[in-house]
A and B are shown apart, each in its own frame.
Chain A
Amino acid sequence: MAIAPQESAVKTGRVTRFVLYTVLIVFALFYLLPLFIMVINSLKPLGEITGGNMMALPQVWTWEPWAKAWSSAQVGVEPTGLKPYFWNSIKMVVPAVVISTMAGALNGYVLTKWRFRGDTIIFGLMLFSCFIPFQIVLIPMARILGLLGLSGSTTGLVLVHVVYGIGFSTLYFRNYYAAFPSELVRAAQIDGAGFFQIFWRILLPSSGPIIVVCVIWQFTNIWNDFLFGASFASGDGAPMTVALNNLVQSSTGVKEYNVHFAGAIMAALPTLVVYIVAGRYFVRGLMAGSVKG
């Protein structure tokens, strides 16, 4: 899905161009506004927010809200800060992304190069599972995690995210491998290469871009998940998003807005960094998830 500029046939005059740029810049400011507010207010002492202007730059620059959000804010029972929850999220995201991506790659390979009767139906069922409202699985999932002894644990969340992540990763790899020349696969088969050899030697080496797309998509989705985290791991095993929400919604004591903002940036930073580094692939993933084919 290339979005490269092309020679447009539409001609525009000078006044029109001025309007164009003004509108585009105003919208850019609108999109940047919340980020701007989060950043500047996370670097202010609390008094400057409650007694001052939210849009003003800090008069006294301080890292203290960041330090507090990270290591001493009251999130759960203990004043641990967000640090342990950040690591919970990392421990949840890394295995879940790796497993769901590998499974998706193999599934996509089978569904395009080893087709069998009914494969489209299986793919269709997988595809639908990407879009179900997850409320429909919360009750049985809570029960199963309880039976497996995984309630409240990071392992439980890994399981959940792998299971519901496979649909999308399969979609990515299937669409990508569908465009891969089947003649190469057939030729390798005639030469006596087996299932895994073909995958390993022929498809995988050219799968770089789609692996990046899939990893970024899964990473962003799983990191940002709130519903599963809140349902199955709301205590010490909670992921970052749940912890942030607990921090912001806690009704005890003074509302420390600057600490909330610092915490919000911490929760946003991993996906934001990925977006800045590999935004192109992120957009490709979004598009592949919507405009298939």
Chain B
Amino acid sequence: MAQPQTAPDARTRLQTLIPKLVLSPSVAAMVVFVYGFILFTVYVSFTDSRILPFVDAKGARSYDLIGLSNYAKLFKLSHWEIAITNLAVFATLYILICCAIGLLLAIFLDQKIRGEGLLRPIYLYPMALSFIVTGTAWKWFLDPGIGLENTMHLWGWTSFSFDWIKNRDYALYCLVIAAVWQSSGFVMAMFLAGLRGIDNEILKAAQMDGASNWQLYRRIIIPQLRPAFLSAFVILSHLAIKSYDLVIALTGGGPGRATELPATFMYSYTFSRNQMGIGAASAVIMLMTVAAIIVPYLYAELREKR
């Protein structure tokens, strides 16, 4: 730009170079901090490292390569088995309930509701809050001593009992409640956008043929929401796998290990239990799970665009 007009060749060459120069810091950061780091973590997962740093004061390596034994050990740990079982239950319920509530609210809101402009932001605001904040609010609300159970007793329903958050068998469902509360409004917004994109002419034609509202939704409208369902599934499942803050704020993984998830497992093995090799292995498994869901989705989206 500040280049003199005299050398058009040099100038053109510079012009073709500038875009790449501008992009290069981001690409470099991505190569190092994302993909380089992934490889690094994969490498750590093949070692018996326990804590950082990996070299001692004399610069000697303080670890050995042990191949896949961390993975073998990982899948023998009952702690890890609990974490992935919990994740399976949590993710399934979280996705199903979010989709059910999201679809219900979207369909209801799409009936020319007065006050829609007021209701929509109310459904969606939890998405703007930190999981630590919502975790704190739900933690005390679900606490039998001061929260819902106590309130019901004071209101005269003395046999009411709700101690899920303190109960090993039910604490996981508290996690589902708080997570659904946080994300279902977002799913509603995705479905609502889908609903509003459906061509009304098709619906009118179907109605002319005598279709009832129920049939209209079951046969025509809901099938057309397939892309929204897919997006919701991809977004919610990767949120579920990454769930960490909410567990820490709501239950801390307890009682016992009742709400332990892979994300909390990874953190405690890596940073508090000095089992960094195993922690790294669990992170690799988490990444592979997310990749299995997200890569095909992104691939399809990028291909469509060309």
Contact yes or no, A261 B129, CB < 8 A: no
Interface residue total, chain A, C-beta cutoff 8 A? 111
Determine if A88 is an interface residue (Cβ-Cβ < 8 Å): no
Q: Chain A residues near B137: list those with CB within 8 A.
A: 34-35, 37-38, 261, 264
Contact yes or no, B128 A8, CB < 8 A: no
Q: Chain B residues near A227: list those with CB within 8 A.
A: 244-245, 267
Contact yes or no, B26 A140, CB < 8 A: no
Determine if B167 is an interface residue (Cβ-Cβ < 8 Å): no
One of A30, A143, A268 near B53 (C-beta < 8 A)? A143
**Which secondary structure characterizes the binding site on chain A?**
helix
Q: Chain A residues near B213: list those with CB within 8 A.
A: 10-12
Determine if A50 is an interface residue (Cβ-Cβ < 8 Å): yes
Contact yes or no, A245 B141, CB < 8 A: no
Report the Cα distance A244→B132, complex, angstroms. Answer: 8
Q: Which of A33, A135, A141, A227 has the most CB of B within 10 A?
A: A135
Q: Chain A residues near B306: list those with CB within 8 A.
A: 120
Contact yes or no, A129 B34, CB < 8 A: yes
Report the Cα distance A231→B52, complex, angstroms. Answer: 13
List the one stretch of B15-23, B60-68, B73-81 in contact with chain A. Answer: B15-23
Determine if B108 is an interface residue (Cβ-Cβ < 8 Å): yes
Contact yes or no, B30 A125, CB < 8 A: yes
Report the Cα distance A128→B30, complex, angstroms. Answer: 10
Minimum CB–CB distance from A143 to chain B (whole Å) comes to 6
Contact yes or no, B231 A54, CB < 8 A: no
Q: Chain B residues near A196: list those with CB within 8 A.
A: 1, 18
Minimum CB–CB distance from B283 to chain A (whole Å) comes to 4
Report the Cα distance A139→B22, complex, angstroms. Answer: 29
Interface residue total, chain B, C-beta cutoff 8 A? 118
One of B116, B136, B286 near A261 (C-beta < 8 A)? B136
Determine if A101 is an interface residue (Cβ-Cβ < 8 Å): no
Q: Which of B203, B216, B267, B283 has the most CB of A within 10 A?
A: B283
Determine if B256 is an interface residue (Cβ-Cβ < 8 Å): no
Report the Cα distance A288→B148, complex, angstroms. Answer: 37
Q: Chain A residues near B33: list those with CB within 8 A.
A: 137, 141, 163-164
A residues at B contact (CB < 8 Å): 1-12, 17, 20-21, 23-24, 27-28, 30-35, 37-38, 41, 49-50, 52-55, 103, 106-107, 109-111, 114, 116, 120, 122-129, 131-143, 146, 162-164, 166-167, 170, 178, 194-197, 220, 223-224, 226-227, 230-231, 241, 244-245, 248-249, 257, 260-261, 263-265, 267-268, 271-272, 274-276, 279, 282-283, 286-287, 289-293
B residues at A contact (CB < 8 Å): 1, 3, 15, 18-20, 22-23, 25-27, 29-30, 33-38, 40-41, 44, 52-54, 101, 104-105, 108-113, 116, 119-134, 136-141, 146-148, 150-151, 154-155, 181, 185-186, 189-190, 192-193, 196, 200, 203-204, 207, 213, 216-217, 227-228, 231-232, 234-235, 238, 241-242, 244-245, 248-249, 252, 262-263, 266-267, 270-271, 276, 279-280, 282-284, 286-287, 290-291, 294-295, 298-299, 301-302, 304-306
Top 6 nearest A-B pairs by Cβ distance? Answer: A114-B19, A194-B1, A9-B203, A224-B130, A34-B137, A275-B128
